[in-house]
């Protein structure tokens, strides 16, 4: 039974007639009820406190609890209902039962809210940790392995190419010297000393030719080995499977060839 502000009628029936009549005529009763209904809790509770101080009737403490309860302030409502029970010794049993009922309702609501909050807190603290993977520390990239060997291999290959090109030049000089000697031997006017000089020059060019070819071939071979040793573990192996350097001999001279099988 809702008894807020309507308990004055019961007071008239229980021997508190004069006190109830005075309270019913007090404009603060209407103001307090209007303030509580409008949500102005502070004003309503203050007016009810004035009524309690003027009358000493704990029913106004009960109505303070109802004002708090109706405006979603359960903790303050509990304190007022418990204070009413403490001060209403020998009061109306119906008032006491109503206060006890409201106390039980509020405590049940608070217990339910605590359970809901506990489940929500458990969900927010455990679920993300279980579903989200732990961050993997990112390692800083180090220097690429084998880069120095590859650079050295490229350097040797360039040096070998230059030496092979030099060998080709000397091969052309040998051919030229051979042609000069052949033409001079057909000419009886050319002294033998000149022919001997050309032969000596041709032999020197031939020696330098073979030295250049040897150095070039060795440098290219060394560069290929160094580059192969410093190759990346996958990419280079998929591009070059074997590298070979071998000499080439023709009717016009000699050289070296680089063979790369893809």
- pLDDT grade, residue 25 (50/70/90)? confident
Residue 103, pLDDT > 50, answer yes
Count of C-beta atoms within a 10 Å radius of residue 12: 15
In 3D, which of 2, 6, 5 has the Cα closest to residue 101?
Answer: 2
Q: How far apart are CA 156 and CA 152, in angstroms?
A: 6
Q: What is the DSSP string of 5-45?
A: TTHHHHHHHTT-HHHHHHHHH-HHHHHHHHHHHHT-HHHHH
Instruction: Decide: 141 and 216 in contact? Cβ < 8 Å.
Output: no
Please list, residue by residue across 229-260, b when 16 or more beta carbons sit within 10 angstroms of its beta carbon and e when fewer do. ebbeeeeeeeeeeebebeeeeeeebbbbebee
Q: pLDDT: is 195 or 206 the higher one?
A: 206
Q: Tell me what pLDDT residue 92 has.
A: 82
Sequence ranges of the domains in the chain: 7-117, 147-261
pTM: 0.42
Instruction: Render pLDDT for 146-162 as a digit per residue (tens, 0 to 9).
Output: 778 778 879 888 888 89
Max mean pLDDT among 67-71, 137-141, 192-196 falls in: 67-71
Structure tokens at 89: 């010794």
Instruction: Render pLDDT for 36-78 as a digit per residue (tens, 0 to 9).
Output: 999 999 999 999 999 999 989 999 999 999 999 999 999 999 9
Q: How far apart are CA 48 and CA 2, in angstroms?
A: 17
Residue 166 makes CB contacts below 8 A (sequence gap 6+) with: 208, 212, 216
Instruction: Decide: 61 and 84 in contact? Cβ < 8 Å.
Output: yes
Residue 20, pLDDT > 70, answer no
Structure tokens at 49: 């406190």
Q: In the chain, what percentage of residues exceed pLDDT 90?
A: 31
Q: pLDDT: is 1 or 47 the higher one?
A: 47
State how far the alpha carbon of 123 is from the alpha carbons of 72, 112, 118, in Å: 27, 17, 9
Decide yes or no: CATH 1.25.40.10 for domain 7-117. Answer: yes
Residue 113, pLDDT > 80, answer yes
Instruction: Render pLDDT for 203-247 as a digit per residue (tens, 0 to 9).
Output: 888 899 889 889 889 988 887 888 878 777 654 444 444 555 556
Mean pLDDT of 177-187: 75
Residue 21, pLDDT > 70, answer no
Instruction: Decide: 47 and 5 in contact? Cβ < 8 Å.
Output: no
In 3D, which of 98, 7, 99, 102 has the Cα closest to residue 57?
Answer: 7
- C-alpha of 221 from chain center: 48
């Amino acid at each position: 039974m809702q008894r807020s502000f309507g308990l004055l009628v019961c007071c008239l029936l229980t021997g508190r007639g004069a006190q109830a009549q005075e309270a019913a005529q007090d404009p603060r009763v209407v103001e307090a009820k209007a303030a509580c209904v409008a949500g102005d809790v502070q004003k309503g509770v203050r007016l009810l406190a004035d009524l309690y101080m003027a009358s000493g009737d704990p029913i106004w403490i009960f109505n303070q609890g109802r004002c708090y309860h109706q405006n979603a302030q359960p903790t303050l409502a509990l304190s007022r209902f418990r204070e009413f029970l403490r001060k209403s010794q020998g009061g109306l049993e119906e008032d006491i039962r109503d206060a006890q009922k409201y106390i039980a309702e509020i405590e049940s609501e608070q217990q339910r809210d605590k359970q809901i909050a506990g489940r929500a807190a458990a969900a927010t603290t455990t679920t993300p940790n279980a579903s989200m993977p732990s961050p993997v520390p990112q390692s800083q990239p180090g220097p690429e392995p084998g880069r120095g060997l590859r650079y050295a291999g490229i350097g040797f290959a360039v040096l070998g190419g230059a030496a092979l090109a030099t060998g080709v030049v000397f091969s052309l000089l040998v051919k030229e010297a051979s042609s000069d000697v052949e033409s001079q031997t057909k000419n009886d006017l050319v002294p033998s000393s000149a022919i001997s000089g050309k032969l000596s020059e041709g032999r020197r060019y031939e020696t330098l030719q073979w030295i250049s070819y040897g150095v070039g071939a060795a440098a290219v071979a060394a560069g290929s080995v160094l580059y192969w040793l410093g190759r990346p573990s996958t990419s280079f192996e998929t591009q070059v499977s074997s590298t070979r350097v071998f000499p080439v001999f023709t009717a016009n001279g000699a050289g070296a060839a680089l063979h790369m099988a893809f």
